[in-house]
Structure 1
Amino acid sequence: MPVGPLINALAVLLGGMLGALLGNRIPERLRVNLPLTFGAASMGMGVVMIAKVHALPPVVLALLLGSVVGELIRLEKGIEWLAGKVRGPVDRLFSVKSAGPDSDVFMQQFVGIVVLFCASGTGVFGALNEGMTGDYTVLLSKSFLDFCTALIFATSLGFIVPTVALPQAVILLGLFFTAGLILPLTTPEMIADFSAAGGIIMLVTGLRICGIKAFPVANMLPALIFVMPLSQLWTALLG
């Protein structure tokens, strides 16, 4: 049973709904300062994952190739377009007015949490790891962070935040059920480099959430597809 993916998606759903309902009743100092903690936590988790790297060159190459592909297919713009389409109907469904951050700030924050919830290295690795070993502790730890993140961001972004639980559940469940096909083809070195690439994406996601630098994190996601084959090729050629 996919315990981790279900708990993680439920955490985002409940946290997002609670935050959207509470809104301004949560003190301003918490709404302003806690995202900095979430960003720092994302960066810290990223650093821990980067430290697992086996070979840095294939990770860097995967990030470069992934970013090129992401930019060419305009992946982040696609997420922003979808968010814009979803935001209006969601607000009307819950009879609320689109308020809070302006469009640019909204998109910057929303894309950041979409990546953090749906496509972080921790989430992808956690789902694959549970599918193969039954260990759901990685996703359980991520769920605590995601619940609080969804709650705080939903106070300003509104009811669109809990809707992220649906694509998150689809992605994590898909990874869980395909783990049996993917992980037998991997090696410890490939997993280590995959974790490192995911860690770098989590690191820059944290920088984005903190408002330090608006990295195009969504456009970096194709790197997670390239990193394992490149890691295997690097190990085969150079050890």
Structure 2
Amino acid sequence: MIGPLINAGAVAVGGIIGAAFGKKIPSRVSEALPLTFGLASMGIGIALIMKVNTIPTVVLALLLGSLIGELVKLEYYIEKLSSKLRNFVDKPNHNTVLYDSHDQFIERYVALVVMMCTGGMGIFGALNEGITGDASLLITKAFLDLFAATIFAITLRYSVALIAIPQLVIQGGLLLMASFIQPLITPAMIADFSACGGMIMLATGLRICHIKSFPVANMLFGLILVMPISALWLHLI
């Protein structure tokens, strides 16, 4: 659990630093760097998409995953929870200024949760550590997340630090499951899983850059479905 703990700790520390000292950082920096992170998310997404083994399985997983997400209203409940977290952690008073409007906060916060918790590097880093014991990927991601959390916390405040909780749960769960699912995973399944995660990362980047507001949280079920669909496709076809 070394990697997940370091990564979650970096997010928590970055969120606290950004919220506490955000006023000392020039506004041009806090406005420009989120766009850079959005661009990086799109670039990583495209790189992961290029690893695809079977395009139909990835498309089918995304479609079915998005359908399930819309039916259970996953993004809606994440947005509601995000609002409650903001009101609880960053409750306005005479000493606190909430820089973003409610809509701006939800737009960025949900995208940030998806980017930090379900990004390809984090997921594969957790799986890799569970299988090989090598935490280097998650430690590398921790440095990236430290800076990202610091910058986004300038406007999103202390709520960013709380992202460390779902991130630790997701990465820790994947790490623990890795030893059990390892015998069932094939290179083709991993390739399709990468491509599916890349699609979501690309959509996340577009959302952070305010190009198109994709319901990225509703797409997350596709990550659960893509490996079984890929295995079934290879078996039947």
TM-score bracket for this pair, using the shorter chain length: over 0.9
Distance 1:43 1:227, change over 3 A: same
Residues in 2 aligned to 1:164 and 1:107: alpha-carbon distance in whole angstroms: 14
Letter in 1 for 2:47: V
1:57 is aligned to 56
CA shift, 1:50, in A, is 1.1
Cα separation, 2, equivalents of 1:91 and 1:192: 41
Distance 1:14 1:100, change over 3 A: same
Structure 1 counterpart of 2:121: 122
Maintained 8 Å contact 2:92/2:98: no
Distance in 1 between the 2:213 and 2:87 partners? 24
Residues 64 and 231 of structure 1, relative CA distance in 2, 3 Å threshold: same
1:47 correspondence with 2:19: no
1:180 aligns with 179
Q: Where does residue 74 of structure 1 map in the other structure?
A: 73
Give the fraction of aligned pairs with identical amino acids, expressed as a percent. 55
Cα pair distance change 1:127/1:96, threshold 3 Å: farther
Show CA shifts across 1:197-231 (max 9, x none).
Answer: 00110111111111111111000000001100110
Q: Is it true that 1:142 corresponds to 2:141 in the alignment?
A: yes
Name the SS for the 2:210 alignment partner: coil
8 Å Cα contact 1:106/1:157 also seen in 2: yes
Instruction: Write the distance in 2 (CA, Å) between the matches of 1:107 and 1:25.
Output: 24
Q: List aligned pairs for 1:24-35, cutoff 5 A.
A: 24-35=23-34
- Alignment gaps of 5+ in structure 2: none
- How large is the RMSD of aligned CA atoms in angstroms? 1.6
Matched, 1:220 2:219: yes
Task: Report if the CA contact (8 A) 1:38-1:145 is conserved.
Answer: no
Q: What is the aligned partner in structure 2 of residue 8 from structure 1?
A: 7
Give me the whole-angstrom Cα distance separating, in 2, the residues matched to 1:33 and 1:98: 20
Q: What number of residue pairs does the alignment pair up?
A: 237
The CA deviation at 1:20 is: 0.3
- Using the size of structure 1 for normalisation, the TM-score is 0.95
**Distance in 2 (alpha carbons) for counterparts of 1:65 and 1:176:** 25
Distance 1:97 1:60, change over 3 A: same
> Comparing 40-49 with 151-160, which one deviates more in the overlay?
40-49
TM-score normalized by structure 2? 0.95
2:16 aligned partner: 17
Alpha-carbon distance change, 93 to 7 in structure 1, aligned in 2, over 3 angstroms = farther
Output one character per residue of 1:176-206: Cα deviation in whole Å (capped at 9) or x when no partner: 1111112221111101100110011011111
The alpha-carbon distance between structure 1 residues 185 and 74, as it changes in their structure 2 partners (threshold 3 A), is same
Q: Are the equivalent residues in 2 in contact too, given 1:121–1:197 (CA < 8 A)?
A: no
CA contact (8 A) 2:90 2:98 kept: no
Shift of 1:92: 4.1
Please give the alpha-carbon distance, in whole angstroms, between the structure 2 residues aligned to 1:94 and 1:41: 35
